[in-house]
Amino acid sequence: MRPTFIRVEKPKHKLLNPEYCPTPLLPPSQRPPIQVLALDQHHQYGILTVLFRFAGFGLDRLGDKLRGRSNPLRSAVAARELFQGLGGLWIKLGQLLSLRSDVLSDEMCDQLSQLLYANIGFPGSVVREAIERELGCPVEKIFSRFEDAPLAAASIAQVHRAVLRQEGVPVVVKLLRPNVIEAFRRDMSLLRMVVGFLTALLPVGHMRLNEALDELDAMVEEELDYAYEASNSRRLRKNLRRHKVYVPYLFRRYCTGKLLVMEEIQGVLMSEAIAVSKQDPERFDAWCEENAVEPRKVAQHLFLSNMRQLIEDNLFHGDMHPGNIILLRNNRYALIDFGTIGALDPDFLQIYFGVLQAANQRAYGKAADLSLHMCTEIPQFNIGKMRSELISAIKLWQARSGMETLGYHDRSLGASGKIMGQVFAKYQLQVSWAALRMARTWGTLDTSLAYFDPEMNHRRMFSRYLKAADQRRRKNAVKKIREGFMSTLQTANEYRVLLEPIAQRATIAYKQKLNKISMATTTVIRFLLIVTLLAIIFCVHAFLHQHFFDLGYLPGGELVDDFPSMEKEWFVVALFGLGLVTGLLRRLLRIASSAYLR
């Protein structure tokens, strides 16, 4: 029996408030154990085995068709069993193909979407060796307690419960499977070979299998490097705090590209709650009452938060299946597993939001026109007829969304994609993978919403979201204005930094030219000032010589004798004029000198 870990009362880190931790829904003894096998016992199939199984699947379907016993549901179940038996990357491919509701039957999409990884783990000794290799020290030095029995296991990772020695905090340790990177890359090469055979032998070009493999390759490469998940976790933890959605704290000092150590959330998995609600409704109702959980409110919060992640944040959890949602007290919940995080092109996001908004406003023509832009190409024929059918499809979904007598999956937002996808398939329109990723996000979330609020009206919920989003925009208007003002100041400062050296060089060049002009001007003024002073001295000399004393014996006496005779008054006027000229020249000299000094 596993020990029950106790959360520390005053954690040093920003961990989940213990008041939100609910009581257990099931005792540990009633949970199915994880089967553990040695690494060499895990199945790995070669190209011949894979081709043989696909050939057997194709021959069985051909035989059913020839005998007139073709059944879409039986074919879909066989396809699911085929991918499930191959395991690993084939399961991910099957899940990806389940998005192609535009080319596959509803039965096939439904069965492929149910693909799950077998809960088969690997031994604890291998886990300890891998952790010690990643952290460079014994497990006992990092963890005061470590459970060898896995808490969960999947195709890529395995999860164990532990307690950090230094922090004293219960955590979960998520470790990448040994040799999984090499195995997945080998399977990817095998997948490309099989797809090449199928494309060459069968008319499956419209399914764009090569593009599906490229999408799968990019997705798996991110999931195989935990640096991506650690970054995604930190970003969503910050964003979802505003949504009142909890994301576990990540202890980054113990994380590597193959190892994650995060806070353990003492809650109940949505998948467990759904299973108990079907098998033992009375127990589930009692648990909800004890922990102040109203399933309908939880479902509505999930819908509104997911819409906000998509439209406002453009950063959303791309795999919202019930196993990644943990229920807490008071209608709260936490999200885990951030290996698949979505962020869409802003132009596509605007188109997607425009389609939803137009449909909500019953502007069906506008919704149909915008939905065509979610396809990779628009055909040049039958556009009018195709547009009319799209309008009819959108109207049909709008009518169904309010019919409580219909099943949830016939009224959900995902149903609108299926109805429109049938029109796209009829006219051989290729839907973009961005639109398919959106469909996958809503499809996985629908599994939880269908059980917690089976009567949900998606059109009304979207109207409710629009109203709340508008209130948030108004509330943040002042903040955005302030941010815009600060951004303008920052931009102005950046331009100042860029232009200042240019202005300095221009100023230096200007000053150099000004200094040359000032120097020449100063020289000329000084010369004129000297001439004026000499003229004043000469006038005084002539005035005294003519009217008071004989000064002919002094130097310059000959010039004085030759100077015309003038009345006293005219000498006073001449001296006054020369004084004014002297004052003006002295002022000009100061101005020119100061310009030169600058």
List the chain pLDDT tens, one digit each, 598 residues.
Answer: 343 433 444 445 589 999 999 999 988 777 777 777 776 555 566 667 777 787 788 788 778 787 877 788 888 888 888 887 777 777 777 777 776 666 677 778 777 777 665 567 888 888 999 999 999 999 999 999 999 989 888 778 889 999 999 989 999 999 988 888 887 888 888 778 877 776 776 666 656 677 777 777 877 788 888 888 899 899 999 999 999 999 999 999 999 999 999 999 999 999 899 989 988 999 999 999 999 999 999 999 999 999 999 999 988 888 888 889 999 999 999 999 888 888 888 888 888 888 888 888 889 889 888 888 887 777 666 788 888 888 898 888 888 887 877 888 788 887 777 788 788 877 777 777 777 778 778 888 888 898 899 888 888 899 999 999 888 888 877 676 777 777 777 777 766 666 667 666 666 666 666 667 777 788 888 888 888 888 888 787 777 777 776 666 666 566 666 667 777 777 778 878 888 888 888 888 777 766 544 5
Does 361 lie in the same domain as 288? yes
Identify whether 508 is part of a domain.
Answer: yes
Sorted by sequence, the CB contacts under 8 Å of residue 219 that are 6+ apart come out as: 92, 96, 340
| pLDDT for the residue numbered 8 | 40
Provide the residue type at 550 as one letter: D
Among this protein's residues, is 337 annotated catalytic? no
In a domain, 103, yes or no: yes
The answer on 114 and 29 residing in a single domain is yes
pLDDT of residue 62: 77
| 316 and 465 fall within a common domain | yes
Between strands 170-176 and 157-164, the pairing is antiparallel
Last residue of a domain, one of 246, 268, 290: 268
4 Cβ contact partners less than 8 Å away, ≥ 6 residues apart:
none
Same domain, 75 and 222: yes
**Residues of the domain holding 137:** 24-268
- pLDDT at residue number 594: 67
Residue 1's pLDDT is 35
Same domain, 147 and 110: yes
DSSP letters for 109-128: HHHHHT-----EE--HHHHH
Task: Tell me which of 268, 294, 312 is where a domain ends.
Answer: 268
Does residue 252 lie in a domain region?
A: yes
10 lies in some domain? no
**Do 382 and 480 share a structural domain?**
yes
Report helix, strand or coil for 38.
coil
Point out the domain boundary residue: 237, 268, 299.
268
Beta bridge partners of 342: 316
Which alpha helices (DSSP H) does 67-207 contain, by range?
Answer: 72-86, 89-97, 106-113, 124-135, 139-142, 180-201
In a domain, 6, yes or no: no
573 and 543 within one domain: yes
Note whether residue 383 is domain-resident.
yes
Q: Could you tell me if 341 and 447 lie in one domain?
A: yes
CB atoms within 10 A of CB 298: 23
- pTM, two decimals, is 0.73
Strand, coil or helix: what is 316?
strand
CA distance 438 to 352: 9
Q: List, for residues 341-400, the tens digit of each pLDDT value.
A: 888 888 888 888 888 888 888 898 898 888 888 877 776 667 888 888 888 988 888 888
Tally of domains within the chain: 3
For residue 490, tell me if it sits in a domain: no
pLDDT in tens, 384-441: 888 888 889 888 888 888 787 788 878 888 777 778 878 887 777 777 777 777 877 8
Give the sign of the dihedral formed by CA 351, CA 352, CA 353, CA 355. Answer: positive
Bridge partners of residue 174, in order along the sequence: 159, 260
Query: 318 and 236 share a domain?
Result: no
In sequence order, what are the beta bridge partners of 152? 159
- 494 within domain boundaries: no
> What pLDDT is attached to residue 19?
92
251 and 291 both lie in a single domain: no
3-state secondary structure 506-562: HHHHHHHHHHHHHHHHHHHHHHHHHHHHHHHHHHHHHHHHHHCCCCCCCCCHHHHHH
- Please choose, from the candidates 434, 438, 418, the residue with its C-alpha nearest in 3D space to the C-alpha of residue 310: 438
Same structural domain, 99 and 228: yes
- The secondary structure element, H or E, covering residue 144 is strand 143-146
- Residue 557: phi and psi, rounded to 5, are -65, -35
Among residues 110, 319, 337, 446, the one annotated as catalytic is: 319
Q: Which residues contact 328 (CB under 8 A, 6 or more apart)?
A: 16, 20, 21, 22, 246, 265, 267, 334
Degrees to nearest 5, angle at CA 236 with 235 and 241: 115
Distances (CA, A) of 307 to 104, 318, 381, 410, 536: 27, 12, 35, 19, 95
Q: Give me the helix-helix angle, 346-360 and 383-401, nearest 10°.
A: 60
371 shares a domain with 338: yes
Cα 232 versus chain centre, distance: 8
